[in-house]
Amino acid sequence: MKYRYLGRSGLLVSRLCLGTMTFGNADWGCDQDDADAIIRTFIEGGGNFIDTADGYSGGESEKMLGKALEAYSRDDLVIATKCWFPSGKAVTARGLSRKHIVEACESSLKRMGLDYIDLYQFHGPDPYTPLAETLRAAEDLIRSGKVRYIGCSNFYGWQISKANAIADARDYEPLVSAQHLYNLVRRDIEREILPACADSGLGMICWSPLAAGMLSGKYRNMDKPDASSRLGLQAAVTLPRYWFDDALAMIEKLVAVADRLGKTPSQVALSWLFGDRRITSAIIGARNAQQIEENLVAGDFDLPQEAYNELSEAMPLKLGYPFEWTENQFKSTFGKAEFEPDHTVQLP
């Protein structure tokens, strides 16, 4: 397993992060015995980074994770969780207010049986709570020793930049990570979010790196996914997100590249992510330990540059405006220096 620093922090995490959304899920998840086996396989494979959330299976995921972690040295692992989703019937039990963040953190610690959380993440943006209030609540948790680092998930690029500008101005601890949807068929974050993260010092943690299983190749030659599969059970969300002609063509290209390299489509799809050094880690979930074993290969497998380029060019992202304008104008305006200075801003 290879490791990368999480943003501009000094925290080293494994390139693969174990996602625990399956823990306790009645429809497409696993029970405690399978969860124990999954975690054992992941840790024995060199993984040190595990992600959960208080919204997964109504908190059951955190409970199962905590029980499984009793067999391991806590300080050897990086445990991440999140708050934002409703955690109770009270109107205050949601969002990113100071009240909810503090209460949600205490509840997560209790469910997992832990004294501290390594990475506490805001699961989504809150349009009603000022970012300064959210960041101050997180700062208090850090100063109390209950949280080590903070991150965000599903934020817009401007919110990421604004949050760390506030943190810098008020001497708060900054966001060190963002967790967003990113894979070979959904590359939206390349437009604004990845550049914002790079500029503000955040590492990117990719969720759904296999497009809900589509990039495993198991749905090839189907008119629609099996109704009992995860993709089928969540069809209202997953089909508009992943099931379209260009995505299906990408899967054929992915399978061809994987066959040529002697790897599985999942291993290649995961490895493709790490060709971009702005990506810190990719979240892999599983219903059983065997699925984890296959994907762990991507923890230290680097995709050859030729294959990386081939896949990237197979379904290029349309970056749109203003990138089209800058791409046209920069060539005649700049490029007069002997070499690119170190402080050059990376545009999409």
Q: Does residue 185 contact residue 317 with C-beta atoms inside 8 Å?
A: no
Q: Which long-range contacts (CB under 8 A, 24 or more apart) does 340-344 make?
A: none
When pLDDT is cut at 50, 70 and 90, the band that residue 340 belongs to is confident
Lowest-pLDDT choice from 26-30, 147-151, 202-206: 26-30
Residue 132 has pLDDT above 80, yes or no: yes
Residue 227: predicted pLDDT: 80
**Beta partners for residue 101, in sequence order:** none
User: What are 213's two structure tokens?
Assistant: 């299983």
Task: Please answer whether residues 15 and 184 qualify as being in contact, where contact means their C-beta atoms are separated by less than 8 angstroms.
Answer: no
CA atoms of 51 and 65, how far apart (whole Å): 9
Catalytic residue list contains 3 = no
pLDDT at 342: 85
E runs forming strands in 138-266? 147-153, 175-181, 203-207
- Give the percent of the chain with pLDDT over 70: 100
**Of 3, 56, 172, 308, which residue is the catalytic one?**
56
- What is the pLDDT at residue 332? 86
Using only the alpha carbons of the chain, give its radius of gyration.
Answer: 20
pLDDT digits (tens, 9 = 90+) for 283-317: 999 999 999 999 999 999 999 999 999 999 998 88
Look at 155-159, 198-202, 290-294, 340-344 and tell me which has the smallest mean pLDDT. 340-344
So what CATH class is 3-333? Answer: alpha beta
Whether residue 222 is predicted with pLDDT greater than 90 in this model: the reply is no
Continuous segment of H or E residues that includes residue 270: helix 265-273
pLDDT in tens, 28-80: 899 999 999 999 999 999 999 999 999 999 999 999 999 999 999 999 999 99
Contacts of 241 (CB under 8 A, 6+ apart): 186, 211, 212
Whether the predicted pLDDT of 225 surpasses 90: no
pLDDT digits (tens, 9 = 90+) for 240-292: 999 999 999 999 999 999 999 999 999 999 999 999 999 999 999 999 999 99
- The pLDDT-based confidence of 224 (bands split at 50, 70, 90) is confident
Cβ proximity of 94 and 100 under 8 Å: yes
What residue ranges do the domains of the chain occupy?
3-333
